[in-house]
Each structure stands twice: as C-alpha cells, then as structure tokens.
Structure 1
Amino acid sequence: MSSRINSMAIKHYSSTFLLLGSMASTAHLRASEPTLHNESHKEAILQSMVAEFALANGDTATALHNYTVLAIRSDSTAVKQHALNIAIEQNDLQAALDIARHWVLQEPKDVPAKFYLAHIALKSHEYELAAQTLDSILNLDSNADLENILAGISPETAQDRDSLLKTLNASKAKDNPSILILIAGLQAQSNQLELALKNVNKALRKRPKVTGFILLKANLLMALGDDEETLKWFERSSKKNKNNLEVRLAEARYLIKINQAEAALDKLAQITNVWPNADEALFIAGLTAIDLKKYDQAEQYLVGLRYSSQYQNEAYFYLAVNAERKQQEETAKAYYRLVDGNLYTVSRRNLISIYDRQGKLNDVLRFLTQERVNYPQHASFLYQAQAEILKRMGHDKAALRLLDEAVKNLPDDPELVYSQVLLLDPFQNRERLDKALKQLLQLEPNSPTYLNAYAYTLALQNRRLDEARRYAERALEFAPEQASILDTLGYITFLQNDFDRASQALGQAYALSPSVNIGVRYAKSLYMQGALEKFNQVLQQLQLNHPNDPQLNQLNSLILPEKH
C-alpha cells in the first residue's frame, strides 16, 4: 500500500515532518521563556498535521485556513515561511497577504518579512501598501537589493500599470536601481521607450555591472530600432564585462539577428575559447557555422555537445544535418539514429528520406521495426511511417495489415485509425471505413480533421448528405478558415442542389487555396447558380493558371456559343 503513495503526497508528508521538527526545536530553544504552552504546542502540531493531510487530499481551503491561523498565532519564522509558501503555491494571494501583514506587525524590523509583504502586495495590486513597505525597507537599509521583490510582477492591464507607476514614482524608493528598472519595464510595456531608457541609464549609473540592467537597455535600443546604438552598447558592455558570458552571448545573438553571421561566429569563437564548456555558445556557434557553410567548423563545435545534458539530442540532429550538407549520407544516418526527445520524429523522417534517395526502402522498413522495440513510446509514429513507406512502394494491402496490427496494440490512438481511413477505399471498404470514422469521432468528437474526413467520405459516397453537412458545419466551427473543410461543405451542398451555399463556401475555399480541384467545383456551382459572368471569370483564371488540366474541358463545354 505504501508504494502507491504518490510523489505529491510524499512531498506534503515530508514538509509536515520538517515543519514539526522546526516547531519542536523552536519550543526546545525557548523552554526558559515559554511562548507556547504544552497544550497550545500540541494543538499547533495537530493543526499542522490536519493542514498537510488536507493539502495532500486536495482540500486547499482547510489547509490554508489552518496554516493562516498557525502563522498568525506562532512566532516561528519557519512556520510563517511555510504557510506563505503554501498560500503562494495555491495562488491564494489574500491568505498570503494576511500572513505577511501579521508577520510584519509582529516583527516590524524583520526585513525578510517586509520583502514578502512588498512582493505579495505588488502581486495583489495593493500598490499603496507595496510602496509603504518598500519605503520602510529602504529606511532600514538604503542599499537594499529589491530585485527579488519585483520578480514576476507584471500588471496585465494598462490601468494597473498606470496605477503602479504613479505609486512607485511617488515613493521614496523611486531612485532605488531595482525600482528604476521596474518603472522602466512598465514604461516599455506602455510604449514609453525613451522614458524607459532614461530610467535604465539612471539604474546603470548606480549598478553598471548588473546583467539584467545591461540587457534591458539593449532590448530598449532594439525596440527603438537603433541598430547602430545597440551594436555600440553591446560592444562597450562586452569589453567592460569580459567575464560576463550572458552579455557576450546576447551580443552574438544580436549580430545573428541583424544578419551579421560572420561577425557573430567570430564573437562565438572568442567566447568558446574563454568558456570551452559553455553549451549554449557551442550550440549557437555550430548552427551559425552550418548556415555559413563552414561545415568542418560546425562539426567541431557540435561534437563538443555529444554529452551535454541540455543539448545532446540537438547536437546529434545538427551533426546529421551537417553531414548531409557535406553529402556524407552514412554519417548522417548514424547521427540521426542517435537522436531522441523532441527531435525524434523529424530525425527519423530525415533518415527515411536518405534511405529513399538511396533506393533502400526495404532496409528502412526493417530498421523501423527494430525502432518499435527500442522506442516503444514512439510506436504510433513508427507504425504510421512504415505504412506510408509501404503505400509509397505500392503495397497498400500490406500497409493496411500493419495498421490493423497497430490499432490492436494501440486501440485508442486516433492517428493510427486516421491512417487506416486514408488507406481505405470509400466504395470497396464502405462498412469498414464507416466503423473507423465512427471510432475516430468517439475518440475525438471535436476534431475538425476527423469531422471533415467523415463528411467528405459520405459526400464521395453520395449518401447521408444531411449528416455529412452537419459534420462539415461542425468542423467549420472549430476551424473556420480551413480551405479543405469549406471545400467539403461546398461539395455536399452542391450535391444537395443548394447552389447558393455551395458557391459561397467554395468561393471562400478557392480564395484560401486556389487549387484546380476547388476551382472546378467553384465554377460548376456558379454555373448552376446562374452566375455566368462570375463563372467566366473563374474559368479564365483557371485556364491561365492550369492551361493543360483536362478537368477544364468539361467546364469549356458549358460555355454557350455566341449567337450571330
């Protein structure tokens, strides 16, 4: 039974023991001046246990109530901090504010308590209280670093931004570098870029080496569109802060952004000489070298990331891309096989393309079968990839058999069922197709793709058109600007002789995707609607864009000969 306790519960139980331990040690240390009598101490322990078990069972209201009471009654800093953390985790800002207020009332000279209060007041949009608290912090310590208070504070509305700006500008804290940066950030959000830049410059005069301040100025210069000043600022900052990796990387990224890749690669070479194990620098340098067709240099950078915890898969992927660019296909295949994580599927697709170019599709089919054993979490993708290859080879029946096996192994995977749908013939496999489409809508009833597939299949079969129309209209609710769905709706309504709706839907589809198939359907609907002038316009456009398409012959036959 104990093995089934989930990790969240373990976290809560552990924090209970930590809390009880801190309470017990506090009581032991203050035994000579008993602030908590035995009975109240037992009650506190019981209250904390109830709170933690309530939290573990999702009863946040009970947990927060108990912790708020505990924090207000207790003089233990550990209890107050734990209660605050719980309130903040549960996003109950009012409870957090109550706890922080009482903490400051009990300990008016406790600077950490005031930091908590100022931060929570800002989050709660209690700006006057925040300003008063910031002032009181600076009265206690005029050089206090207020940056942590401001972390994650960003009013969402213009009204809240204006309110906070007024409060901060009226506060004694307004010349504190961290407050100047907050004011600058708010001004930047309100597009007051010049004012924001002035405040950042004031902050930098007091703290010229703070990375966040340096980068905010660079971002403001970029936002003002001043590339020359931005470059000068980065150059000066990098020289003055030679040991600041973040600033020097930001300069390189900016050079790439403004299409100065050669200069960026030079900067990155300097960075990697100083910081040979800086993964991000090696990665950016590798990609930049690939773009500049310096493939040997790219390989040197990326090989250094083969054991990186953050960039290993990316390194293997781009080493493969680099090898492909060098026309070293076997090397590329070897690297693609090593890729996992988010790049797994794209790496295998690239691998399949190489095998296809080499005329070795049977080899890749065997490889993908083994991949299903090695990477069972990607089984759905691998089955689909194999089915696509078999279809490309003209083995549709084998592809269907493989997908049958896949659906048996993964019965609730809609993508596999959809792959079956795409292979089934709407006339020869009518019943099986109907069953598969119904299964799709059971698995994902609101998928516009699956709704459209069912609607189009019924239209092809020219049956249950009212039902098909409902599916198409419902699909449009979820994807109103999708040409394929509008085309389906137009096709269905044309079959229903609703030519007004057909021409409207097909006109929208043709505007979004001017393919010959949609265009021909659109022209037919216009003809049946009697809009002959528009019909002729569409036909002329089709003849111009697709002069040799045989589908246009049928449309040409609809043109009435001129009377003499």
Structure 2
Amino acid sequence: MMNLRHFPLLLSLAALAGSVAAYGLSDSVNPADNAMPAGAESVGPLDRAPAGLTADLVYNLLVGEIASQRGEPWMAFAHYLRAAELASDPGLAELATRSALAANDIGAADQAVRLWLRLAPEALSAHLIAAHVAVLWGEQERALAHLQQVVRLAGLAGQEGFLQVVGLIATIEPLLHRMELMRALVAEDPENPSAHYALAMVAADARDYTAAIAAVRRTIELDPDWDRPRTLLVRLLLGVGQRAEARSELEAFVHRMPDGDAMRMLYAQLLVEEREFSDARNVFERMLQNAPKEPDVLFAIGILSLQLEDLEAARTYFERLHATGQRRDDAAFYLGQIEESLGEPAKALAWYGKVGGDNAVDAQMRIARIHALDGHLDEARAILRRLRDAAPEHSAPLFLTEAELLREQGETELAMALLDEALEAHPGDEELLYTRAIHGVKQGRIDWLERDLRAILEANPDHADALNALGYTLADQTDRFQEAYGYIERALAIRPDDPAFLDSMGWVLFRLGRYPEALEYLQRAYEMMPDGEIAAHLGETLWVLGRRDAAWRIWDEAIAAEPDNEVLLRVIDHFRHSRRTPGR
C-alpha cells in the first residue's frame, strides 16, 4: 500500500518531471536580488529542459526550490549547484550563484559563478557578478578582467557597458581602489566618451571633485552634443562653489542648443537661486514654446510672475495650467490669491472653493478671512470651527488664524480668550504661546508676554524669536536694559544676519546710551530691511548724534513708503518741532 505521507511530494516530483521543459525557476525564486551589482539582469525561465533528466537531477532541483522558498539560501545553493553540474545548465548555475550571495558565502558564490562562466562564457551578467565576487575577495586584477568583458559584451548587445559597471565599482573600499579600477578600465578605450563619463560619476561618488570635473570635461570634448555630462558638470561646479563658471557653462550650452530643455531647466533654477526672476521667467517661456501645456513649466512661470508682482501674467499662466487638467488644486489656490490681491473677493471665493488636496485647508482659511474682512466675522469663525472638527491635525494653525481675525477686527479680549482655549487643547505649543505673548504686549500686559515667552524658553532655550521678542520688549517698555541686552545678544548669536534682531540690538544699545554702536547695528538693519520701525530707531539715533538732517532724510523716505506706520508717525511727531529745515 502507498504511504500517503509521501503523496504530496510524489505529486510534486511528477509535476516537475512533466513540465520541466517550461519550468521558470526564477519566477518563484530569486534569492539574492538585493545582493547583486547594478546591471546584472535576473534569471529568466529556462529555454529547455536540463539535459539528461534523472531522478538525481529532479531531486536537486526540487530541494533547491523548496530551500529558496523557505529562506535557506545556502541549502538552495548546494542543490542548485549540483543540479547545474548534472545538467550542464547555465541558468541553474546562475541560481546557485545568487543563492550563495544571498547566504553571504563568497567562496560558494565564487565556485558557482566560475561554473556559470564555463557553461556560458559570453554571459554579460555572469561577468558582472564575477567582477562583484572578485571585488569582495579584493582581487582587483581579476575584477578588471571581468569588467572589460562586461564592456565588450554590452557593446555587442548595443548597450552601454561603462555605465553598467559604475554601480559595482561604487561598492569598492577604499575609495582609492575605485578610482584605480575605473581608470584602468577607461585606459582600454580612452576615446570613448561614456568611459570618461563613468569615471566622472565614480569620482563624484568618491568625492574626488577635481577628478570628476576633469573627466566630465573630457567627456564633453569627445561628445559635445551629449546633455547629461554637461548637466553633471554644472552640478559639480555648483557643488564646489564655482557658481560663475557653472553659469557660464549653462549659458554657452543654452545659446548653442536652444531646445535643450534639461539644461534650460537647470539654467532657470540657477537664475531663480540668484533671484534673477525676470530672466528665469524668460527661460521658462522659451521652454513653453516647445511644450505649451507642460504643467510644471506653466506652474514655474506662474510662480515667477507672482514673484515679479505681475499678477495679470500670473493669472494667465495659472488659468492655462488649470485648463490642462493637471495640478488643478495648485492652480485654483494661486488664482484665488491673485483675485484676492486684485480686489476681487467674489472671484477669489470661487477659485478657493475649487481647491482640494494639500491646499484645501489653506484655501478654506483664506475663505474665512475674506468673509471676516467683508464684515461677516461670525461666518468666518464658523468656517474655522468646522475645519478644526474636520481636520484636528490642523487645529493649532486654525486657532491662530481665528485669533488673528479677531484681533484685526478689534476683538482683542475674544482673541485672548480663544488663545487660552487653544493652549488648553495644545499645551506648550510654541507658536500659540508666542502669539499670545505678542497679543499680550499689545494690550500693555508685559507680564503676560514674559509668562509665555519664558515658558517657550524653558522648553527651548535657543528659540531665537522668543529671545528677541523678550529682549526688545524689555528694552522698549521697561528700564531693564541690561537684561534685555542679554536676551538680544543670545538671539543674534543664533541668527546674526536677521535685520529684526539687528534692530533690537541697535535699540537696546541706544537705550543704554551707547549711540555710536547703536548706529552701526541700525544702519545694517535698515540696509537689509528698510522698515518703518527700523527707520524710526535709526533716525532717533542720528538725531542724538547731532545728525538731524540725516535723521529727517531717513524719516521722510520711510514715511513715503509707509504713511500709516504708527511707530514712525509717533517719532516724527515728537521731533517735528525741532526740525531746523525751513518750512517745518
């Protein structure tokens, strides 16, 4: 009687024997994909049945398969290797090689890949993996020989062999050996631009930027019309701080190849970083001529038009973007902002109502603001409350928006009560604490400001804005000047080029009677940010230093730009009677 315990195994053997001609082993097992060098193709189905199908062969095939499925790569290697030897089949040798690598057994992998190469000496992937194994053994010459075969065989197949070996060489340690191996490989074909490009990539990965730049320049000499090396050259030059040279390379290429969009995109990005927005927009507009419905280009031109305060142009580009059917949420959101800026609240509401996705909450907040400005504060608050319920993860910024709307409408007590409620829901939230502190000082409650800012600093001693706000308020509204100086000094150490912090330092030095020092800080702040409050402080400092005409020049310039600045108006009114200029 048949032993039923063996029945499933016998069925498996029968199935294997009956279908071995079409048996795609790699469809069910590929144990070392993650261990393989880049460019090594995976095993495909066997083209034919292993020669001389025997019980021993079937047994080793089946056990190798089961071991792979059970995550036992070393056992899989042993049985696949035996099967490959019995059948003289390179596909099975490849499976043995991959299993050995999955088991991290380099010796086994070496044994298997040698068999694979004996059975298929022209297999590109076998040479690539053999090079990988040689690298792991530290046998650079042997690795080079196999890589040379990879380049040759890839060329015969119409592929680019040099670029296939880059990923493998990048695994070699130390870095010096990478460059030695790649240079030896390039020396075999010194006029091949791909060889030098591959060398540039290896050098860049090894952070040898001088060698990388030299190699990519040689690539460009050999193939002037190839975009990718020029893109790499520009990025390398930018990476080493040679921005002027990078720009020169871009401009030369764009002039010679006006339709090279990859380089034009890089050029436009560089112009944006240099804050040359008008020129950047011109570059994108040129790109748009070739692809008038390209959404990313339309979006970029729209944003640049906003940066240039060209609202009509921005509207046109975002309308075109919306019409493409792509990035519709982005387009609708910015169109809402544009109509809002142009004094068209009804049109803004219509666009904001179409916004979904990541900008949906911001759009609803803008809708609430429009209703508040239109005198419908209750409706605005209802929108924000519904949003807090629907999107609790945005609760804190929604509280902040509502508090700001209340303050703008003169409802300061309601704003403070709301911030109290917000901090009960979000205790310790730095932005809520900071906002409540600023609201407090505007109501003359310096004690509230100190309470909240000190709570922030207790949790985060390097919160620069809290340090500056506390220091400036103490300098401006108390006689605790030395204490204020300490806070501002700490803030300025964290952000030494912040014009608001420079203004605070200038003002506390003024209050301490250190007028020449105060003048230096205030002049720097005003040059960086010609703000009305900074102008008030700077003018006052110039005045006490006896430079009254200079003080009036600053004040006149500032009041022309900000005629409603309360601090500036108060200072000007205070000194108006002392002006010596005729007519005052």
Structure 1 length as normaliser, TM-score?
0.61
Equivalent position to 1:229, from 242, 256, 280: 256
Q: 1:77 is matched by which residue type in structure 2?
A: R
Residue 330 of structure 1 and its aligned partner are, at CA, apart by 4.8
2:557 aligns with 545
Alignment of 1:77 onto 2:98 = yes
* Pair 542,216 (structure 1): closer, same or farther in 2 beyond 3 Å: closer
Correspondence 1:145 to 2:160:
yes
Alignment of 1:205-244 (within 5 A): 223-231=250-258
Correspondent of 1:302 among 322, 339, 344: 322
* 1:389 positional shift: 0.8
Taking the aligned partners of 1:465 and 1:495, their CA distance within structure 2 comes to 7
Q: Is the 8 A contact 1:458 1:465 kept in 2?
A: yes
Question: Residue deviations 1:435-485, cap 9 Å, x none?
Answer: 111111123321211110111222234254333221111100111011221
When the two chains are superposed, the root-mean-square deviation of aligned CA atoms in Å is 5.4
* Superposition map of 1:332-347 within 5 A: 332-337=348-353, 339=355, 342-344=358-360, 346-347=362-363
Q: Could you say what secondary structure the match of 1:402 adopts? A: helix
Distance 1:102 1:498, change over 3 A: farther
Counterpart selection for 1:134 from 132, 144, 147 = 147
- 1:435: which partner in 2? 451
Task: Identify the match of residue 510 of structure 2 among 494, 498, 505.
Answer: 494
- CA drift of 1:166 comes to 8.4
Closer, same or farther in 2 for the Cα pair 1:247/1:232, shift >3 Å?
Answer: closer
The residue type paired with residue 369 of structure 1 is: R
Q: Please list the CA deviations of residues 486-545 of structure 1 after superposition, one character each: whole Å capped at 9, or x if unmatched.
A: 2222222333334454334334333333445334434544565xx54xx34632432552
Give percent identity, aligned residues only.
20
Letter in 2 for 1:107: V
Please identify, of 285-294 and 347-356, the stretch whose mean Cα deviation from structure 2 is larger: 285-294
Count of residue pairs brought into register by the alignment: 450
Mapped pair 1:422 → 2:406: no
1:401-436 deviations in Å (ceiling 9; x for gaps): 111111111113211111101110377423332211
Distance 1:23 1:366 in 2: 59
Which one is further off, 103-112 or 482-491? Answer: 103-112
Q: What is the alpha-carbon distance in structure 2 between the residues aligned to residue 152 and residue 397 of structure 1?
A: 67
Q: How far, CA to CA, are the matches of 1:427 and 1:325 in structure 2?
A: 30
Is the contact made by 1:218 and 1:230 (CA closer than 8 Å) also made in structure 2? no
Which amino acid in 2 is paired with 1:145? E
Residue 476 of structure 2 is matched in structure 1 by 460
Q: Aligned in 2, Cα 1:161/1:23: closer, same or farther, shift over 3 Å?
A: closer
Q: CA deviation at 1:391?
A: 0.8
Task: Report the CA distance shift for 1:190/1:406 in structure 2 as closer, same or farther (over 3 A).
Answer: same
Change (3 A) 1:498 1:343: same
Against the structure 1 CA distance between its residues 466 and 257, is the aligned structure 2 distance closer, same or farther, given a 3 Å change threshold? Answer: closer
Kept after mapping to 2: 8 A contact 1:268/1:285: no
Q: Secondary structure in 1 aligned to 2:252?
A: coil
User: Which residue of structure 1 aligns with residue 8 of structure 2?
Assistant: none
Relative distance call for 1:117 and 1:31 in structure 2 (3 A) is closer
Q: Are 1:351 and 2:367 matched, yes or no?
A: yes
The answer to whether the 8 Å contact 2:132/2:168 transfers is: no
Q: Which has the higher contact order (CA 8 A, sep 6+)?
A: 2
Question: Is the 1:452–1:471 contact (alpha carbons within 8 Å) kept by the matching residues of 2?
Answer: yes
**Residue 69 of structure 2 is aligned with which of 12, 21, 25?**
21
Q: Which residue of 1 aligns with 2:40?
A: none
Aligned ranges 1:149-548 → 2 under 5 Å? 149-150=165-166, 167=183, 170-172=186-188, 174=190, 178-183=194-199, 190=213, 195-201=218-224, 223-231=250-258, 259=282, 264-265=287-288, 267-268=290-291, 281-282=294-295, 284-285=297-298, 299=319, 302=322, 305=325, 311=327, 313-318=329-334, 320=336, 330=346, 332-337=348-353, 339=355, 342-344=358-360, 346-348=362-364, 350-352=366-368, 354-355=370-371, 358-425=374-441, 428-525=444-541, 531-532=545-546, 535-536=547-548, 538-546=550-558
Secondary structure at 1:134 match in 2: helix
Structure 1 stretch 459-468 or stretch 219-228: which is displaced more? 219-228
**Larger Rg, first or second structure (1 or 2):** 2
- Residue deviations 1:27-80, cap 9 Å, x none? 268459779xxxxxxxxxxxxxxxxxxxxxxxxxxxxxxxxxxxxxx9652452
- Classify the secondary structure of the residue corresponding to 2:282: coil
- What secondary structure is seen at the aligned counterpart in 2 of 1:405? helix
Distance (Å, rounded) in 2 between the aligned partners of 1:389 and 1:173: 70
Partner SS for 1:424: helix
Structure 1 residue identity aligned to 2:75: A
User: What's 1:107 paired with?
Assistant: 113
2:194–2:219 contact (8 Å) kept in structure 1: no
CA distance change for structure 1 residues 26 and 223 in 2, over 3 Å: closer, same or farther?
A: same
Amino acid at match of 1:302: H
In structure 1, distance between residues paired with 2:464 and 2:264: 47
Q: How far apart are residue 371 of structure 1 and its match?
A: 1.1
CA distance in 2, matches of 1:504, 1:251: 38
Cα pair distance change 1:497/1:325, threshold 3 Å: closer
The letter of the residue matching 2:147 is L
Match of 1:45 in 2: none
Quick check: 478-487 or 334-343, which moved more? 334-343
Unaligned runs of 5+ residues in structure 1 are: 1-14, 36-73, 84-98, 205-210, 235-245, 273-280
Match of 1:5 in 2: none
Query: Contact between 1:168 and 1:183, CA under 8 Å: does it hold in 2?
Result: no
Change (3 A) 1:344 1:488: farther
Give the distance between the partners of 1:395 and 1:229, measured in 2 at CA. Answer: 62
Unaligned runs of 5+ in 2: 1-33, 35-65, 84-94, 118-122, 205-209, 236-245, 272-278, 306-311, 561-568
